[in-house]
C-alpha cells in the first residue's frame, strides 16, 4: 500500500484509513467548503459519510 494525503486523490478514488486488509474501503467525494474538509463514504454503505481533513494520511494501491 502507498501512503498519500487525501487531497492528492481524485474524486471517486478508493482508499483505506488503516494499513490492514480487514479495514473498510472508503471513497473520496466532494470538498465541503463550509467545513474545509472532504466528504468520504464507505464502499459498502454509501449512507455512512465522514468528513476528513485534507492533510489526513490514507492508504491507496491495494486489492480488495
C-alpha cell at 13: 478514488
The domain ranges of the chain are 2-60
C-alpha cell at 2: 502507498
The pLDDT value given to residue 64: 78
CATH placement of domain 2-60: 2.30.30
Ramachandran area for residue 55 (φ above 0: left; ψ -120 to 50: alpha; else beta): alpha
Q: Identify any residues that bridge with 58 across adjacent strands, giving them in sequence order.
A: 4
Neighbouring residues of 56: CB distance < 8 A, sequence distance ≥ 6: 5, 6, 17
Tens-place pLDDT, residues 2-44: 999 999 999 999 999 999 999 999 999 999 999 999 999 999 9
Between CA 31 and CA 50 the distance in angstroms is 12
Residue 54 pLDDT level (bands cut at 50, 70, 90): very high
Amino acid at each position: 500500500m502507498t501512503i498519500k494525503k487525501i487531497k492528492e486523490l481524485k474524486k471517486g478514488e478508493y482508499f483505506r484509513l488503516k494499513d490492514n486488509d480487514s479495514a473498510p474501503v472508503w471513497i473520496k467525494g466532494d470538498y465541503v467548503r463550509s467545513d474545509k474538509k472532504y466528504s468520504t463514504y464507505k464502499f459498502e454503505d454509501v449512507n455512512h459519510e465522514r468528513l476528513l481533513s485534507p492533510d489526513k494520511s490514507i492508504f491507496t494501491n491495494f486489492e480488495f
